[in-house]
Amino acid sequence: MTNLYTLYWNRFRSNRFAVAAALVVLSLFILSFLAPLITPYDPDAIDAYHVLLPPSGAHWFGTDELGRDVFTRVVYGARISLKVGFVAVGIAVLVGTVVGLVAGYYGGWPDTILMRLVDIMLCFPTFFLILAVIAMLEPSIWYIMIIIGLTGWMGVARLVRAEVLSLRERDFILAARALGASDLRIIFRHIFPNAMTPVLVSATLGVAGAILTESALSFLGIGVQPPTPSWGNILTSGKDYIEFAWWLSLFPGLAILVTVLSYNLLGEGIRDALDPRLGRR
């Protein structure tokens, strides 16, 4: 097992883009958790004497229309984005994995019903479905995380089902059945660990999608509500001053771009390292 992990690690570290992406993601975690130690400013403190100041030594990313330090708000906004990404993806992975395991292992009518449910969910434009649901509810970070999670599990379900269909007829599964192992033991002891590769990759890529969705909702004013800093609502305030305060849009936009790109590259690196069928290295 140790040799297998060493092989995975060697494959992963040979992908320079994936390693760089992992370092960026790790840096984001450090910045978000150590935000009070990194910046001396309060993200919500209004300073009427330092309004719309350009980037400088005192304010690395400048200040906004209320005199708040943009760097501080971007760093604190990373907390919101990471929280939304991981909680929403956690919900999606949990639901999708359970649906995929049941549909793939039992087949028959459970498979038919669950896959038709997946098809129905895929018929709805996800972003507009999220907009409609959130518009009927009070804007809340928890509602956003739950709704994004409950509208993003279909891809995971399909991936897990495909893996289970491939695994359930393997010799070690047949041997477990012959020894009298229960369905639950076979599913969670033998099938689930061997079907984790696509789940892990999908989860990593899903974090990027969840961050983009949250930023878009906040930009439209129905996501995270001011004064709580979010990359999306920082962009919203910046669009009114973009002609002469470019830094209000540039830096949160770059934060979204770099974060989403890093998670995508990290997900591809994990896929390449864990999938032996690629045979690239």
**81/141 Cα distance (integer angstroms):** 10
Q: Are 115 and 173 in contact (CB under 8 A)?
A: no
In 10 A of CB 277, how many CB atoms?
A: 5
- Res 280: pLDDT: 47
Please give the angle made by the CA atoms of 183, 277 and 203, to the nearest 5 degrees. 60
Name which of 155, 134, 146 is nearest 204 in CA terms. 155
**164/196 Cα distance (integer angstroms):** 10
Q: Is residue 21 classed exposed, middle or buried when 0-12, 13-18 and 19+ CB atoms within 10 A define those classes? A: buried
Cis peptide before 193 (omega within 30 of 0): no
CATH of domain 13-36+62-274: 1.10.3720.10
- Res 196: pLDDT: 82
Tokens of 216: 């878009």
At 90, the amino acid letter reads G
Distance between first and last Cα of the chain? 19
**165/172 Cα distance (integer angstroms):** 14
- Res 180: pLDDT: 82
Cα maximum dimension of the chain? 77
- Res 20: pLDDT: 94
Give pLDDT tens digits along the chain (281 positions): 556 678 778 888 888 899 999 999 999 989 888 888 888 898 888 888 888 889 988 889 999 888 899 999 999 999 888 888 889 999 999 999 999 999 988 888 889 999 999 988 888 777 787 777 777 877 778 888 888 888 889 989 998 998 898 888 888 888 888 888 888 888 888 888 888 888 888 888 889 988 998 888 888 888 888 888 889 888 888 888 888 888 998 999 999 999 999 999 998 888 888 765 554 44
Give me the residue spans of the domains in the chain: 13-36+62-274
- Res 279: pLDDT: 44
- Res 1: pLDDT: 52
